[in-house]
Amino acid sequence: MTNKVRIFFACSTIALALPLISCAGTTAEAPEAILLSNAGGDFNHWNGVGKIFKDDRPYCSAFLLDTRGTGKEANGPAYVMTNAHCTSIRVGTIADIAYQGQMQFNFFHDTLAGAKRYDIDKVNWASFASTDIAILQLGTSLDSLLKDGITPLKLAAAAPRNVSQVNLVSAPANAAGLRLSTCTQEPTDTTLIKYLNIHTDYQKQNCKGIEPGSSGAPVIDAETGQVTGILSGTTYGIPSDDLCFWHGLCGDKKTSSLLPHQASQSFPVDYLTGCFANGTFRLDTENCALTPNSNFQLRSNSRAITDIGLHKAPTSTSQPTPKWDINFSMSTEFYRFKTVRDAQACYSPDNYSDRISTTSAKVQSEIGREAGLHYLCLIGVNSIDQQADSRLLGNAQILAARVVTPVPMQLPAPTPTIEPDGTYLFIKYREEADRDLWTQIYTGPAEETNCSEINPEHYSKVDDGFYTPVQALPLTLCSYTMDRNLSVSEVRTDHLHPTQSRIAE
Model pLDDT, residue 256: 59
Model pLDDT, residue 304: 44
Model pLDDT, residue 308: 84
Please say if the pLDDT value at position 21 is more than 50: no
Q: Do residues 160 and 24 both lie within one domain?
A: yes
Identify the CATH number of the domain in which residue 423 sits.
Answer: 2.60.40.10
Quote the mean pLDDT of the chain.
87
Q: Do residues 266 and 162 both lie within one domain?
A: yes
- 94 alpha carbon, distance to own chain's centre: 14
Place 86 in a pLDDT band, splitting at 50, 70 and 90: very high
Residue 78 lies in a domain: yes
Place 73 in a pLDDT band, splitting at 50, 70 and 90: confident
Examine the fold and report which residue of 377, 404, 431 is the final residue of a domain before the chain moves on. 404
| Nearest partner of 263 among 221, 218, 207, 219, judged by Cα | 207
Of the listed ranges 28-32, 365-369, 382-386, 451-455, the least confidently predicted one is 382-386
Q: Do residues 179 and 261 both lie within one domain?
A: yes
Model pLDDT, residue 413: 96
Mean pLDDT of 15-21: 30
**How many separate domains does the chain show?**
4
Mean pLDDT of 389-403: 87
Q: Do residues 391 and 433 both lie within one domain?
A: no
Q: Which distant-in-sequence residues (6+ apart) come within 8 Å of 383 by Cβ? A: 333, 334
Task: Provide, rounded to the nearest whole percent, the portion of the chain with pLDDT above 90.
Answer: 65
Rg (CA), the chain: 25
Q: Do residues 422 and 357 both lie within one domain?
A: no
Mean pLDDT of 398-426: 92
Examine the fold and report which residue of 78, 112, 147 is the final residue of a domain before the chain moves on. 147
Examine the fold and report which residue of 81, 112, 147 is the final residue of a domain before the chain moves on. 147
Mean pLDDT of 471-478: 95
Residue 77 lies in a domain: yes
Residue 93 lies in a domain: yes
Model pLDDT, residue 10: 34
Residue 6 lies in a domain: no
| Nearest partner of 209 among 322, 95, 61, judged by Cα | 61
- 118 alpha carbon, distance to own chain's centre: 26
Contact 401, 364 (CB under 8 A): no
Mean pLDDT of 165-176: 93
- The residue that leads in pLDDT, 216 or 384, is 216
Q: Is the peptide bond before 474 cis (omega within 30 degrees of 0)?
A: yes
Residue 41 lies in a domain: no
421: how many CB neighbours lie within 10 A of its CB? 10
Of the listed ranges 8-22, 30-44, 304-318, the least confidently predicted one is 8-22
Please say if the pLDDT value at position 1 is more than 90: no
Contact 375, 340 (CB under 8 A): yes
Q: Do residues 397 and 420 both lie within one domain?
A: no
| pLDDT tens per residue across span 105-130 | 999 999 999 889 999 999 999 998 88
Identify the CATH number of the domain in which residue 202 sits.
Answer: 2.40.10.10
| pLDDT tens per residue across span 321-355 | 999 999 999 888 999 999 999 999 999 999 999 99
Please say if the pLDDT value at position 504 is more than 60: no
Model pLDDT, residue 11: 35
Q: Do residues 231 and 168 both lie within one domain?
A: yes
Q: Do residues 25 and 166 both lie within one domain?
A: yes
| pLDDT tens per residue across span 232-253 | 988 888 888 999 999 999 866 5
d(CA 63, CA 485): 43
Please say if the pLDDT value at position 15 is more than 60: no
Identify the CATH number of the domain in which residue 307 sits.
Answer: 2.60.40
Please say if the pLDDT value at position 137 is more than 80: yes
Place 64 in a pLDDT band, splitting at 50, 70 and 90: very high
Model pLDDT, residue 407: 87
DSSP string, 340-351: ESSGGGGGS-TT
168: how many CB neighbours lie within 10 A of its CB? 33
Residue 194 lies in a domain: yes
Residue 330 lies in a domain: yes
Place 255 in a pLDDT band, splitting at 50, 70 and 90: low
Of the listed ranges 6-20, 116-130, 211-225, 334-348, the least confidently predicted one is 6-20
Please say if the pLDDT value at position 459 is more than 50: yes
Please say if the pLDDT value at position 193 is more than 50: yes
What residue type is assigned to position 337 of the chain? F
Please say if the pLDDT value at position 292 is more than 80: no
Place 421 in a pLDDT band, splitting at 50, 70 and 90: confident
Place 384 in a pLDDT band, splitting at 50, 70 and 90: confident
Domain span at 326? 297-404
Residue 127 lies in a domain: yes
Please say if the pLDDT value at position 293 is more than 80: no
d(CA 20, CA 27): 6
Model pLDDT, residue 121: 97
Mean pLDDT of 191-198: 87
Q: Do residues 160 and 267 both lie within one domain?
A: yes
Please say if the pLDDT value at position 401 is more than 50: yes
Q: Do residues 388 and 417 both lie within one domain?
A: no
Mean pLDDT of 446-464: 93
Q: Do residues 261 and 320 both lie within one domain?
A: no
Q: Do residues 201 and 58 both lie within one domain?
A: no
Q: What is the dihedral of CA 268, 273, 275, 280, to 10 degrees?
A: 130
